[in-house]
Structures are given as C-alpha cells and as structure tokens.
C-alpha cells in the first residue's frame, strides 16, 4: 500500500502491540519506511502511551480515606463477627426466616437439617456466601447495588430485635409444639449422638450451668477446646428466671435439646452468651451457639471440643 | 476415655511486628482480626484510588466506587481462594465496581467522528508547566472511550501493569487486553497528539517509532 493511501491508526496500533500476522506486519512496515504521514501517526500512537504514563496518579485524598474507614467500621459494627461472621451473619438471617416463629409451617425443616448435621468445617463456610447476596461484586465479577442490599439486611436485623417479652411468648408457643418439632429433628439427628442426660426443652425447667466469665471470645477460641474457658468459671446459678433463660429456651427449642452450659461473656468485643450443647458426649464434642443480648445469633453454630 | 479434640486449639497469634503478607492479613481478617483489613486498605488505597479516578474520571464517582469495592472486599473476603494475588483480587473488585458504575450511568461509546470533533473543540493552549492541565485533558480524553478500552488503558498505560496482570484483573485473555489497548490508543491519538510536541515525550516516541519501522 503506497501512494496516497495510508493505514489507519487502528492497524498501526495493532502493529505496535504485535497483533498483526507476520505478512500484514511486514507489508505495513514496508509502507511505514516510505510514508511520512503514517510514520507520524505511529509516533502519535506512541505518544499516547507516554502521555498516559506521565500523567501523575494522585494519592487518595484524606477525606475519601476517612470515609472508607468509616464505612468499614460501620460494616464491622453491623455484623459484629469479624471476617467469617460477616459472611455468615446474613446466612443466619436466611436460616431464621424459616424458623418456627417466622413461618406458619413448622413441618418445613430448618436449613441446617437439610444439610448434613455435623459439617460446619471452616473451609466450607465461605460456600454459604453465594446465597447471601450481600456483596457489591459477585464472584463472576458482576456488581449488584449496595444500598438495597444494606436496607434488606437492616430490616432483617430489626425484625430480630424483637422485645424480649414478645420473644418469650413466641418461644413458649414453640415449646408447646415440641412434639412436632422434636419429631422433625430426630429424623435428621445423627445416629451416634449420645442420649442427652438433661431435661428436654419441653419441660418446665431446663438445666444448665450458668457462668459469668465475661471473657471475650474469638472465633478461633470457639472452635477449640472450651473446657478451660467455661468449665472452671464461677457458677452463678443453674437455672434462673432471668432474661437469659428465655433466650436459652428459645434456642433450645430450635436445637431440639437444651444446653449443658451457658456462659455470659463477649464475642469479638460484643456482649454475648455462649450456649454449649452436647454434639457427642462420648467424643467430647460440643455444639456452640453464640447469641447477643437480644437472643440474636451472632455467629454460625459450630463445633468445639470439651476436654 | 477422652479422645483428642477434633479441632486443635488455634494458636493465638501474638502481634508480630514482622511485615505480614496481604494473604496473611486477609486470613486474619477472616479469622476475626478487626485490624487486619484496615492494614490491607492502608497498603492499597492509593493505587485503588488512582485506578478508580482514572477509569471514572470523576472524583465523586471514584470515591463511591472505591468505597463500594473495599466494603465488598471486606464482606466477601471469605470467598477469596488464593488463586490470584490479593492485589489482583482487589484491583478486580475496584475495576468491576467502576465498570458497573459506568454501565449504570449507561455511558454510550462515542463514535469516531464525535471524537475528532471533541478533539478540535477541546484542544486548549497547553501550558507546558501545568501538569494539572495535562492530567485533566487526559481524563477528558479517556472519558470518550468505551469502558472496556478505558479500563485496559488505565491499567496498562497509566498504572504500568503488565498485559498479563491486566488480563488477570479484567479476567480476559492477554490478546483481548492488547487489542483493547490498541483500539483505545488509536482513538486517543488524534486527541492527544498535540502533547507529543513536549520535548521529553517526542524523543521517546520517535525512538519507539524508529524501532517499529525498522522491525
């Protein structure tokens, strides 16, 4: 191609990127050797790179940095649970939507019954995340609006923060329907679970040791051995009528059995009650539920050891 | 009687003063360390800001995009699989947040003749000393590109990432990044050509031109 015909900028840019096949590249180079306008165009293209590279990239303004810090602090506050908790907390909201007091069909199995009972392995937990639909950017790179998601999350949380009296009332109704719930639960219970030597939640009183360690638990600690933390604590009572008992009953109705130990402390700096249920007493494994002051689950139930 | 616990007690991480890798920080964040993610943000916010500002060309939009991206990264840290560097992952989230913002504002690609018009209209008398002017001019020019070309040029030409790194961030093949860069530069060349006359730039570009001409 010679004379008054020239290559367009796109061809020349592709030449510079090595995108042209060998034959075309050679033809364009031959043309460039004799065509000043095309040589100028090529120089213009190279100048684009240089101009872009020379454009200074300013540091993030302090105002923006502070704004992001605040947003992240609010994020941490609203989920209270550290990294994993962030991913899991909304899943809990989903789970609780199917809880007996949130739905009129108690025969519908709760989500943890649909999934294998004893596999809350930490490695698997992130897989809960796709159902959460919380992220701004999805795994496939698509982005969903943040604001509606946040609003939805807030509504769910608000629903959870029901008055203790109302919660107790619903919990009582649930306990009244224990026969049905227990039937559902026993189907999915693992066959090797040892008999629980404590009174069933349907009973008038449920028995557990109540301690008041005020210890600030971390997620890692609640996956490890808990005997040292909760075992030697000062027992402040076995069963009492305080607000915590209502909450314990509520959770017990959900779990299908009652806890053997409850410790009042903190989880990641937030006030929390640690409820321990026997998972397998022979193997010293316990199921740990962590609830906040409003009896809201602040951490996905997990397994720990008791020795 | 007592069998060993199924979960060994997690070793308590004491505050180590040694430099911690991004991946370790992310692991700590997932484990509940409330300070780990802040450190990740401190390390990378300037680069993330630069990417967002150049991609979106608007400080307010960029601030929103970076904030969304960091909050999203904070939430979805558990889904980070470690197959890419943490920085690549963060860049990907930021770039996607930017691209999504552009999509939602439905910025249409600009036709070539409009580009030339814009070039003629927007060519100011260049103040050689004012880097700021150049910067604004470049921003304005970039806004005329389709978003995929803009994102590629920001990463490769402005931020200086390799084609391979940019391909990982954008999750497209290297050839696609090259081709987006080529088409983007072809569109920008008429608009920014007057900047070539700055002595430092013209020297480099002639050398590059000569090299290409000579094969």
The per-residue pLDDT for range A56-90, each reduced to its tens digit, is 878 899 999 999 999 999 988 876 544 444 444 44
Yes or no: is domain B19-107 CATH 3.40.190.10?
no
Q: Tell me the three state secondary structure of residue A276.
A: strand
pLDDT score at B185 = 96
Lowest mean pLDDT among A35-44, A128-137, A298-307, B161-170: A128-137
A-chain residues within 8 Å CB-CB of B181? 13, 17
- Dump pLDDT digits (tens) for A185-213: 444 444 444 444 444 444 456 788 888 87
pLDDT score at A161 = 40
Distance between CA atoms of A220 and B195, rounded to whole angstroms? 58
- Closest by CA position to B93, among listed B67, B122, B69: B69
Query: Which range among A154-163, A238-247, B141-150 has the greatest average pLDDT?
Result: B141-150
| pLDDT category of residue A240 using cuts at 50, 70 and 90 | low
**Domain B109-206 belongs to what topology?**
Arc Repressor Mutant, subunit A (1.10.10)
Question: What is the domain partition of chain B in residue ranges?
Answer: 19-107, 109-206
Count CA atoms within 13 Å of residue B6 on its CB side: 20
Select from A32, A54, A57 the Cβ nearest to the Cβ of B50. A57
Best residue in B209, B211, B214 for a mutation probing chain A (most A CBs within 10 Å): B209
Q: Tell me the three state secondary structure of residue A270.
A: strand
pLDDT score at B163 = 96
A-chain residues within 8 Å CB-CB of B151? none
Residues of chain B short of pLDDT 70, as ranges, are: 1-18, 106-131, 196-215
How many inter-chain contacts (A to B, CB under 8 Å) are there? 273
Which residue does chain B place closest to A14, by CA atoms?
B182
- Record: contact A284-B2, CB cut-off 8 A: yes
- Closest by CA position to A283, among listed B207, B155, B149, B4: B4
Q: Return the number of other C-beta atoms located less than 10 Å from residue B115's C-beta.
A: 19
On whether the CB atoms of residues A267 and A217 are closer than 8 A, the answer is yes
| pLDDT category of residue A235 using cuts at 50, 70 and 90 | low
What ranges in chain A are assigned the alpha helix state H? 9-16, 22-34, 36-54, 62-79, 82-97, 111-114, 129-132, 146-160, 164-176, 178-188, 227-230, 243-255
Q: Which one has a higher pLDDT value, A123 or A268?
A: A268
Best residue in B8, B47, B74 for a mutation probing chain A (most A CBs within 10 Å): B74
Question: What is the domain partition of chain A in residue ranges?
Answer: 9-54, 84-305
pLDDT > 90: percent of chain A:
19
Select from A32, A65, A87 the Cβ nearest to the Cβ of B75. A87
Q: Taking the model in full, what pTM does it have?
A: 0.49
Best residue in A11, A52, A282 for a mutation probing chain B (most B CBs within 10 Å): A52
Burial of A6 (0-12, 13-18, 19+ CB in 10 A): middle
- Record: contact A303-B7, CB cut-off 8 A: yes
Distance from CA of B120 to the nearest CA of A (A): 16
Q: Which one has a higher pLDDT value, A19 or B108?
A: A19
pLDDT score at A39 = 92
pLDDT score at B115 = 53
């Amino acid at each position: 191609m010679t004379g008054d015909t020239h290559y367009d900028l796109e061809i020349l840019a592709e030449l510079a990127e090595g995108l042209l096949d060998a034959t075309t590249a050679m033809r364009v180079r031959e043309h460039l050797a004799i065509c000043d306008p095309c040589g100028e165009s090529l120089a213009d293209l190279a100048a684009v790179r240089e101009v872009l590279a020379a454009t200074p990239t300013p540091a993030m303004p302090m105002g923006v940095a502070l704004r992001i810090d605040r947003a992240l602090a609010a994020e941490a506050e609203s989920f209270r649970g550290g990294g994993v908790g962030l991913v899991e907390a909304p899943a809990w909201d989903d789970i609780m939507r199917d809880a007996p007091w949130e739905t009129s069909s108690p025969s519908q199995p709760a989500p943890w019954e649909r999934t294998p009972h004893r596999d809350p392995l930490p490695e698997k937990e992130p897989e809960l995340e796709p159902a959460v639909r919380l992220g701004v950017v999805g795994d496939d790179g698509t982005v969903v609006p943040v604001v509606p998601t946040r609003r939805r999350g807030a509504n769910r949380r608000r629903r959870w923060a029901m008055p203790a009296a109302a919660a107790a009332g619903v919990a009582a109704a649930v306990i009244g329907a224990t026969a049905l719930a227990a039937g559902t639960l026993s189907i999915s219970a693992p066959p090797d679970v040892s008999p629980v030597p404590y009174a069933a939640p349907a009973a008038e009183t449920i028995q557990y040791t109540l301690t008041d360690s005020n210890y600030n638990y971390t997620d890692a600690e609640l996956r490890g051995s808990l005997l040292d933390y909760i075992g030697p604590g000062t027992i402040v009572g076995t069963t009492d009528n305080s607000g915590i008992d209502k909450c314990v009953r509520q959770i017990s109705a959900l779990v299908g059995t009652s806890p053997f130990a409850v410790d009042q402390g903190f989880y990641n700096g937030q006030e929390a009650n640690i409820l321990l249920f026997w998972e397998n007493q022979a193997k010293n494994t316990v199921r740990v539920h962590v609830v906040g002051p409003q009896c809201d689950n602040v951490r996905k139930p997990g397994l720990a050891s008791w020795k | 009687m007592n069998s060993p616990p199924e979960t060994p007690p997690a070793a308590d991480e004491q505050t180590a003063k040694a430099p911690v890798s991004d991946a370790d920080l992310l692991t700590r964040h997932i484990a509940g360390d409330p300070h780990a993610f802040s450190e990740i943000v401190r390390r990378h916010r300037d680069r993330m800001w630069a990417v967002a500002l150049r991609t979106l060309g608007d400080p307010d939009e960029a601030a929103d995009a970076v904030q969304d991206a960091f909050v999203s990264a904070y939430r979805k840290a558990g889904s980070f699989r470690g197959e890419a560097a943490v920085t690549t992952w963060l860049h990907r989230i930021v770039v996607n947040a930017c691209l999504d913002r552009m999509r939602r504002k439905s910025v249409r690609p600009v036709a070539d003749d409009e580009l030339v018009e814009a070039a003629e209209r927007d060519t100011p008398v260049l103040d050689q000393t004012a880097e700021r002017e150049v910067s604004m001019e470049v921003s304005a020019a970039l806004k005329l590109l389709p978003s995929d070309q803009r994102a590629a040029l920001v990463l490769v030409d402005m931020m200086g990432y390799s084609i391979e790194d940019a391909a990982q961030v954008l999750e497209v093949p290297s050839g696609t990044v090259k081709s987006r860069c080529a088409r983007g530069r072809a569109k920008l060349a008429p608009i920014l050509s007057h900047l070539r006359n700055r002595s430092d730039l013209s020297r480099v570009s002639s050398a590059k031109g000569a090299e290409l001409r000579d094969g």
